[in-house]
Amino acid sequence: MTKRPNTLLITVDQWPGHLLNAAGHPVIETPTLDTLCEAGTLYNSAYSECPVCIPSRRTLMTGASPCTHGDRVFKTQEPMPPIPTLASTFRDHGYQATSVGKLHVYPQRDRIGFDDTIIAEEGRPQLGAVDDYDIFLADQGFAGQQFMHGMSNNEYGWRAWHLSEFTHVTNWSAREMCRAIKRRDPTRPAFWNLSFTHPHPPLVPLATYLDRYERSEIDVPIHGDWSKSFGELPHALQLVQIYWSRLNAKQMAEMRRAFYALCTHIDHQIRIVLGTLREENLLDDTAIIFTADHGDMLGNHGLYAKRLFLEPSARVPMIVVPPKGVLVESRGSVRNDLFGLADVMPTLLEFADIAIPETCEGISMLGSGGRPFFYGECMEDGKATRMIREDDFKLIWYPAGNHVHLFDLKNDPDECLNLADDGAYDDKRRHLEQTLIAQLYGVDLDWIRDGKLIGFDAPALPRLDNRGLSGQRGLHYPTPPYDSKGRVVGTI
């Protein structure tokens, strides 16, 4: 490579790793991403170190583990740690760095090393800013009307987008990214970060994308043997089932149709960004990575959303496309080595021939054999889950009640059969538990005794009072009032 390439990092929010046509999904339409897989490499075993928005984004932007960057919970008012970020490292080496879309940092206008950030933060003015997307809606005559569709950010209701196609946040994000590309400094290479807020709920796709899935036979959720009895579920999974009501078969199909519609809409808008790069004569000189902060259970095993280490929640899509003429032998390849979001930073830096900061704990995905094992962690209370994946086996520990799941992903990729109590796998379980114990720190150390996992007694299940409709937003003009802690009144 004779000159430093541009780099484009595309992230989506809450997109499961299996939800690509190129990965064999029977329904989803992802023609753009499929083409990127043909031009680069699809990583089929990439995971989120902490599958919830803020911690995963901190890992993505620093290459650091939750232990290092300080969040495995969801700390909405925790500043980025004082370590090099992906953006600051690129800028320190002469790159112009621009971000469009969701950053999910605090304070919201913290640029975390970027020259400029154009943000869409899903209506969170209590964190210190009216974001650029809300300003755009106001300029169009729709001040405060982002959530007038009536759908919550944390529920699985659905309907078509209530305003014009031009105003949808997916279109806005792609359009702003294209403008940033056109306004680049031509004397410097560029790092562009494009972060779409969907397919994370609210499930409000454009009607045209809902319509295209009307003729599709939507796949049904998977239910493992271990998930059929509420009373036998780990406490953390019982909490999920209490929080989200089960959808019936018709509702489930409609919900998934709306989710898939959001995905295909994003796929098509990525085409516009790539088309802009092509017309600006930049595409061949740009390295591209597409990934997500985490996935979504989408009703599998009776569960929804994230924070879990089951495959639909923890495994993320990961596509790496080199600049033209680089790593030509990797084109169209599929890799099953273990990687995570921390590995995005060193991979992009290697394309640019930039030294990796010492605080970055990830490894480059270029030529590397992957991690010997993958450790994941999320939450520190009754919702806590910890995971070790090594080779084809995955162990998930639920400390509340001290439950263990053990899955053979080679023979049981849908995680339907829990092998934790099968004597034939005692040695495998002991080995993975010891590997897991070696990673634990903080409050987790209280859940170990004599080198064994003991967890803690599961607390009583709460009685849900969801009068706030899972944090339903309202009319956001004028800006909602704040309570004494700086939160929008009535939000969770």
Q: 337-379: per-residue pLDDT in tens?
A: 999 999 999 999 999 999 999 999 999 999 879 999 999 999 9
Do 405 and 332 share a domain, yes or no? no
Domain with residue 439: its CATH number is 3.30.1120
What does the pLDDT look like over 392-408, one tens digit per residue?
Answer: 999 999 999 999 999 99
* Residue 477 belongs to a domain: no
Range of the domain at 437: 384-461
With cut-offs at 50, 70 and 90, classify the pLDDT of residue 492.
very low
The 3-state DSSP class for residue 330 equals helix
* Residue 447 belongs to a domain: yes
What does the pLDDT look like over 35-52, one tens digit per residue?
Answer: 999 999 999 999 999 999
Average pLDDT, stretch 372-389? 98
* Residue 150 belongs to a domain: yes
Give residue 311's region: left, alpha or beta (phi > 0; psi -120 to 50). alpha
pLDDT(1) > 80 = no
Can you tell me the distance from the alpha carbon of 364 to that of 446, in angstroms, rounded to the nearest whole number? 34
Do 117 and 79 share a domain, yes or no? yes
pLDDT (0 to 100) of residue 367: 82
With cut-offs at 50, 70 and 90, classify the pLDDT of residue 488.
low
* Residue 71 belongs to a domain: yes
**How distant is the alpha carbon of residue 111 from its chain centre?**
20
* Residue 479 belongs to a domain: no
pLDDT (0 to 100) of residue 474: 93
Domain with residue 294: its CATH number is 3.40.720.10
pLDDT(491) > 70 = no
pLDDT (0 to 100) of residue 490: 46
Do 240 and 274 share a domain, yes or no? yes
pLDDT(487) > 90 = no
The torsion of the CA quartet 404, 316, 54, 157, rounded to 10 degrees, works out to -90
Per DSSP bridges, beta strands 452-453 and 448-449 are: antiparallel
The per-residue b/e assignment along 59-83, b for 16 or more CB within 10 angstroms, e otherwise, is bbbbbbbbbbbbbbbbeeebebeeb
Whether pTM exceeds 0.95? yes
Higher pLDDT, 467 or 424: 424
Q: What is the mean pLDDT of the chain?
A: 96
What does the pLDDT look like over 158-190, one tens digit per residue?
Answer: 999 999 999 999 999 999 999 999 999 999 999
Domain count, the chain: 2
* Residue 489 belongs to a domain: no
Can you tell me the distance from the alpha carbon of 280 to that of 153, in angstroms, rounded to the nearest whole number? 36
Average pLDDT, stretch 134-144? 97
With cut-offs at 50, 70 and 90, classify the pLDDT of residue 276.
very high
pLDDT(455) > 70 = yes
Do 23 and 132 share a domain, yes or no? yes
